[in-house]
Amino acid sequence: MNQFDGGGAGNSPINRLIEAFHRLPGIGPKSAQRLAYHVLRASEGEAVDLADALIEVKRSVVYCSGCQNLTDTNPCRICSDSGRDRSVICVVEEPLDVQALERTGAFRGVYQVLHGVISPSDGVGPEDLKIAELLARIRDSEVEVAEVIVATNPNLEGEATSMYLARLLQPLGLSVTRLARGLPAGADLEYADDVTLGRALEFRQQA
């Protein structure tokens, strides 16, 4: 990365800021520099607002004790909704997947967020995901869980995670289903359009 050091200091404030942005997922060296320079050109008030927002989100956002989604209230809004069908749990990889499915308006059950997928090449195993929390939720639920929808992404890691969960859950007597194949192979849920996601939920299949 080309560095702006204002005098040769590799750990100068601007370089530290560039490096901090560069560590964010999807932010390359050029984008990191542009973001850093944008902050420099912004007013002091804007910079302080950004810093305050970062500190506040770290202090106030927690895992929901029910679904493990990120929330600033515990339990989260969805888990607190008495109108949701607690007999159906939709398992997703990431918090953004919950938002994508909620936009469809097609699902009125509850969610479980794994915070990742099984990926041996990346050193991620079942024990690194929120699978134990899912099993505990099913076991301790006041309402008997009848169906678990595995809504992982239709790629290699998502399929491996889906098969692992199916083997784990089917002996419990649950119906374990998978989203229908309206989703293109290799696609991420968060980028799918609402109609495609809604149909994938409606025509889900046995896992």
CATH number of the domain residue 119 falls in: 3.40.1360.10
Residues 87 and 48 in one domain: no
Residues 37 and 78 in one domain: no
Instruction: Please state the separation of Cα 155 from the chain's center in Å.
Output: 16
104-140 burial, b if ≥16 CB within 10 A, otherwise e? beebebbbbbbbbbbeeeeeeeeeebbbebbeebbee
Residues 43 and 131 in one domain: no
Could you give phi then psi for residue 178, rounded to 5 degrees?
Answer: -125, 150
- Residues 46, 179: Cα–Cα separation, whole Å: 43
Residues 49 and 120 in one domain: no
In a domain, 3, yes or no: no
Residues 27 and 104 in one domain: no
Instruction: Please state the separation of Cα 97 from the chain's center in Å.
Output: 6
The whole domain housing 29 covers: 13-60
Q: Taking the CA atoms of 12, 14, 18 and 21 in sequence, report the sign of the dihedral they define.
A: positive
Q: Which of 202, 175, 31, 171 is nearest to 107 (CA)?
A: 202
Give this prediction's pTM.
Answer: 0.72
Residues 150 and 96 in one domain: yes
In a domain, 45, yes or no: yes
Neighbours of 78 (CB within 10 A): 18
- Residues 196, 36: Cα–Cα separation, whole Å: 38
Number of domains in the chain: 2
In a domain, 121, yes or no: yes
Residues 32 and 96 in one domain: no
pLDDT string in tens for the chain (207-residue length): 444 444 445 678 999 999 999 999 899 999 999 999 999 999 999 999 999 999 998 999 999 999 999 999 999 999 999 999 999 999 999 999 999 999 989 999 999 999 999 999 999 999 999 999 999 999 999 999 999 999 999 888 999 999 999 999 999 999 999 987 655 656 677 777 776 677 677 667 676
CATH of the domain at 40: 1.10.8.420
Residues 74 and 53 in one domain: no
Residues 79 and 164 in one domain: yes
